[in-house]
Amino acid sequence: MMTKPTFRKILVANRGEIALRVFKTCAEQGISTVAVYSDADRGGLHVAGADEAVHLGGAAASESYLSIEKIIAAARATGAEAIHPGYGFLSERAVFVDACASAGIVFIGPPAEAMNVMGDKVRARKAMAAAGVPVVPGVNDLESAEDALAAAESIGFPVMLKASAGGGGKGMRIVHRREDLRRAFEGATREATAAFGDGRMLMERAVMRARHVEIQVMADNHGNAVYLNERDCSVQRRHQKVIEEAPSPSPQMSPAIRRAMGEVAVKAAKAVGYSGAGTVEFLFEETEEGPRFYFLEMNTRLQVEHPVTEATCNRDLVLDQIRVAAGEPLGYTQEDVELHGHAIECRLYAEDPVRFLPSPGPVHFARWPVGGNIRVDTAVASGSEVSSFYDPMIAKLTVWGPDRPTAIRRMREALRETVLLGIQTNIAFHLRVLDEADFNAGHFSTRYIDEHPHLLQSPEIDAPTSRAIAAAAAFHAAGSLGAPAGGCGEGETPSGWRQAARWRR
């Protein structure tokens, strides 16, 4: 803990649950907070959750949350000494880091140069290979479909096309046959250009049955860096994470492999002069000879799934970010990092649970689960509006247990206690996964959803969930937006949120 506030005031250049998450730590440390908001978020919970709020502009992100000029102006007008970017939006834009420095404002994140290297997949692959970090065999800087065809011949099918400047699954294609490569290359290039303004592509050998395992790292500006164990993010849809857990349930994950991956992740961070919170992502391949892991990329920000690390390591990662940005040493060593129990996070989306299409609209009634081993990160309550302008994720539901079976059981209970009326959600999908045999056995890869198509059938809501929804609907129909016992009312955040990094064992 800090003996005195490192900053007097911090602006959060983001919205929704991540803004509230940062505000929570700031409030505990006596740091004043500034929210920013768009036209679409005037009534957002994150606006009410800060000490001050500044209107940025239109609902479109380009007119608000992506406007560097407006955010810097808001920080200056309110006297904020530092800016926390959250995740998404400007969080991995080196130009924003430079703009903060030019304005005399501290950016709570890594240096611009580290961000430039790790934010470009080609530069990152080259830097990691030079540092001795294992990378997936591949070819960088593909300029044409002919280059891609030649590269594929040397690597061998199947291959993975990736946008050099990309993320979130955009500009990414798996190609199994030579005759499909040209069309895939042209489609991926178009998608990357539209999403990132950069159509450069690279190719890697497609590891078809690998897990997505990532290592959380934290580094300061005094040469100290640690890894805070791993997260398994293999349950994905269209290359985007849906369920994350810590530690990995892979039968080939051992303390020795965890240490080896962690040491490689720290080596990767130090190779680019990294500081703050970052995540080094790996392909984790389970073979008869034992596991193999390859560097994928580094996310130079706080991850969406950071709660599972906080739950199993008993650390406040936002507090660590703030302290490091203020120039303080990390204050703990690798020997101080422990692993406690098991945590699982389910990302709840306002979406069609079969086709994964966004389902924005008003939330007529919201009831979130509560409990000492439950954490709800959300900015949605009864009466909230899920906007069509932003990502449809509405909450992150995280549970902790002394072991994985207990965590799974608690997650089932928490999901069944969650009620959201007025929008479609993927809650039924999560319940299907939690009841599925391979998931419970820990036997899955990034192809898990593709290999279990029954998970995407039209959802049949189980009896406990049906009763919960019926009770909530009756409550709502009676003219009351107050939550049933144990829930939260209009405008409230759940008590699980207030417990956020204070897990009761």
Phi-psi domain of 486 (left: phi exceeds 0; alpha: psi -120 through 50; beta: other): left
Which neighbouring-strand residues pair with 225? 219
Which neighbouring-strand residues pair with 422? none
Determine the residue type at 95: V
Does residue 307 have a cis peptide bond before it, meaning omega lies within 30 degrees of 0?
A: no
End-to-end CA distance of the chain: 21
Query: What is d(CA 255, CA 325) in angstroms, rounded to the nearest whole number?
Result: 31
Q: Are strands 9-12 and 82-84 parallel, antiparallel or unpaired?
A: parallel
Place of tokens 């030079």: 130
Among the listed residues 75, 3, 108, the one whose alpha carbon sits nearest the alpha carbon of residue 318: 108
What 3-state class would DSSP assign to 289? coil
Place of tokens 């989306």: 349
Query: What is d(CA 26, CA 322) in angstroms, rounded to the nearest whole number?
Result: 9
Q: Are strands 32-38 and 52-57 parallel, antiparallel or unpaired?
A: parallel
Query: Please, how many CA atoms are within 13 Å of residue 449, restricted to the half-sphere of its CB?
Result: 20
Rg (CA), the chain: 22
The Cα-based distances of 505 to 346, 374, 467 in angstroms read 20, 11, 29
Among the listed residues 417, 396, 405, the one whose alpha carbon sits nearest the alpha carbon of residue 500: 396
Query: Please, how many CA atoms are within 13 Å of residue 405, restricted to the half-sphere of its CB?
Result: 2
What sign has the CA pseudo-torsion 57, 60, 63, 64?
positive
Nearest-10 Cα torsion for 138, 144, 146, 147: -30
Query: Which is catalytic among the residues 237, 301, 347, 432?
Result: 301
The 225-237 sheet, strands edge to edge? 290-299, 276-287, 210-219, 225-237, 240-246, 342-349, 393-401, 374-378
Specify whether 200 is catalytic: no
Query: What is d(CA 60, CA 315) in angstroms, rounded to the nearest whole number?
Result: 35
Residues with catalytic annotation?
A: 301
